[in-house]
């Protein structure tokens, strides 16, 4: 990894954001009987986007009878994963986490061509591909995890132990 970082820094004349330096391709087994779902993730975005992406990808994977996969493609993805583990640990545990970039042998599957819109996942239902790596991003539609409120709520970290800084808190007279 140090060699990759050095090579990247030498080729870049601008300021280098080390979190965006791509990790080497992951070693994944091909031609198994399992079926996986992964996606381009908006790892440089904020927590709200991350929660939506985790919930949506999990809902999509469940609907398509696939295992959701999370590729740690760079430092931003690692940071996204750590934030997710602190807020929605149960949901993050549903993902198979792979340390490395998506291998070139796994092609992109066209899905949700425009940001933040709903695309019907049933159009992917008949795909026999072992790996579906979706080309979309954000997946900000509740329709990807419809009827999953109770399940997704159960994956949240217990809020009593979380530090929300100066945000208002509920008390006997006021519910926040």
Question: Would you state the pLDDT for residue 19?
Answer: 80
Backbone phi and psi for residue 124, each to the nearest 5 degrees, phi listed first:
-100, -5
Average pLDDT over residues 52-70: 97
Computed from CA positions of residues 156, 101, 113, 36, in that sequence, does the dihedral angle turn out positive or negative?
negative
Averaged pLDDT of the chain = 87
pTM over 0.85: no
- Cα-only R_g, the chain: 18
Name the pairing type of β-strands 36-39 and 108-109: unpaired
Where in the chain are the domains? 34-139
Question: Would you state the pLDDT for residue 173?
Answer: 86
pLDDT band at 30 (very low <50, low <70, confident <90, very high): confident
């Amino acid at each position: 990894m140090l060699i990759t970082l050095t090579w990247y820094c030498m080729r870049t004349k601008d300021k280098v954001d080390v979190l965006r330096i791509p990790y080497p391709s992951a070693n994944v087994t091909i031609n198994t009987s399992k079926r996986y779902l992964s996606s381009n993730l908006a790892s440089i975005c904020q927590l709200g986007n991350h929660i939506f992406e985790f919930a949506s990808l999990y809902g999509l994977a469940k609907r398509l009878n696939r295992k959701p996969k999370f590729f740690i493609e760079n430092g931003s993805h690692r940071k996204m994963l750590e934030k997710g583990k602190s807020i929605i640990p149960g949901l993050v545990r549903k993902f198979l986490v792979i340390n490395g970039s998506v291998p070139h042998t796994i092609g992109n599957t066209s899905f949700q061509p425009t940001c933040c819109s709903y695309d019907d996942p049933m159009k992917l239902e008949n795909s026999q591909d072992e790996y579906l790596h979706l080309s979309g991003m954000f997946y900000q539609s509740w329709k990807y995890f419809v009827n999953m409120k109770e399940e997704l709520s159960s994956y949240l970290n217990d809020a009593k132990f979380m530090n929300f800084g100066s945000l208002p808190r509920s008390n006997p007279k006021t519910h926040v």
